[in-house]
Structure formats: structure tokens, C-alpha cells
């Protein structure tokens, strides 16, 4: 009798394993593949993404309330040693946040809370936020806002 019970439980182990592992796999964000690289400080005030080569400002700007204020900030920034600072795209900012969410930040400590100015594929500037969701795993939800910070990026 005991042998039959053991045989029956072994017969269902693969099903039990799948039952337990599939929900876990569904909670892993697909963007985790794109956030493999860590961040590293490449110069004072500059943080680089290992995988993409993007260089981010370490400090964000003061809050900006209009596209004109943002353009003025970028113009001033581009008068420094680098002349190719720009706003990130929605997805560049998402990937940047995911590096921190997945704890692959390389020990870099940045203040990420709040809304940030972005540039869409049509060249339109707007502030938005990638707020942490309450779902399984690292997940963020996108919201447009009325004002935000600038964290410029280059190439």
C-alpha cells in the first residue's frame, strides 16, 4: 500500500513542479534581459550603462514646468565639455529604472523618485513617471504628469 502511494506521488511530481514554477516565471519582467549590465561612475557626475553605453547625469535638474525651461536647461548643459546631451526616450528611462529595480546598479546610488522629461519619437517633450506597480516582480506603470526633472543622457 505504501509503495503504491509513493509511486502515485512520483507520477505527479513533474506536474507539481510545473504548477509551482510557471507562476514564478510569469513574474519575471521581460526587460530583465535588457538590464543585464550594471552602472558605473565614469567621471564625476557621470554614470554609464555597461550594456548600452549611454551616459547619464548623476544629478537631476530642479523641477521644470515647460518644454521651454527644459530646452533652456539642455542648451546650458551642452555648453559644457559635452555637446550631445539630450532627453531620454520613454523606454531608455524605463530600462534605466529597471536596472535599479533588479538591483543591478553596480552600487550607484541615485535619487529616481518623481517625474522626468522625455522626448517621444515625434520630437514632442513631456514629463512623465514610471511608478512602481504593486504586481509580482519588478514592474512599473507609465503616467504623464505636468512637471518633472531632467536627467539628461548622451548618445
- Sheet arrangement for strand 125-132: 116-119, 125-132, 140-144
The answer to the question of residue 32 being in a domain is no
The answer to the question of residue 23 being in a domain is no
Cα(47)–Cα(5) distance, integer angstroms? 59
Residues 87, 152: contact at Cβ < 8 Å? yes
* The overall pTM is greater than 0.85: no
The answer to the question of residue 26 being in a domain is no
The range of the structural domain enclosing residue 70 comes to 39-154
The answer to the question of residue 7 being in a domain is no
The answer to the question of residue 24 being in a domain is no
Summary mean pLDDT of the chain: 79
> Structurally, how many domains does the chain consist of?
1
For residues 85 and 23, the model is more confident at 85
Cα(122)–Cα(12) distance, integer angstroms? 54
pLDDT over 70, % of the chain = 72
Question: CA of 50: how far to CAs of 75, 144, 152, in Å?
Answer: 27, 28, 17
What pLDDT score was predicted for residue 65?
97
The answer to the question of residue 21 being in a domain is no
The answer to the question of residue 119 being in a domain is yes
The answer to the question of residue 109 being in a domain is yes
Cα(28)–Cα(100) distance, integer angstroms? 15
Amino acid at each position: 500500500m505504501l509503495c503504491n502511494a509513493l509511486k502515485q506521488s512520483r507520477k505527479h511530481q513533474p506536474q507539481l513542479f510545473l504548477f509551482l514554477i510557471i507562476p514564478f516565471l510569469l513574474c519575471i519582467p521581460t526587460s530583465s534581459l535588457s538590464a543585464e549590465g550594471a552602472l558605473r561612475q565614469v567621471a564625476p557626475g557621470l554614470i554609464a550603462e555597461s550594456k548600452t553605453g549611454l551616459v547619464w547625469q548623476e544629478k537631476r535638474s530642479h523641477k521644470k514646468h515647460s518644454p521651454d525651461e527644459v530646452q533652456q536647461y539642455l542648451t546650458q548643459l551642452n555648453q559644457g565639455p559635452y555637446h550631445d546631451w539630450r532627453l531620454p526616450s520613454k523606454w531608455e528611462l524605463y530600462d534605466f529604472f529597471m536596472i535599479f529595480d533588479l538591483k543591478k546598479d553596480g552600487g550607484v546610488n541615485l535619487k529616481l523618485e518623481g517625474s522626468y522629461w522625455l522626448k517621444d519619437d515625434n520630437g514632442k517633450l513631456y514629463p512623465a513617471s514610471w511608478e512602481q506597480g504593486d504586481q509580482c516582480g519588478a514592474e512599473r506603470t507609465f503616467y504623464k504628469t505636468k512637471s518633472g526633472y531632467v536627467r539628461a543622457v548622451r548618445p
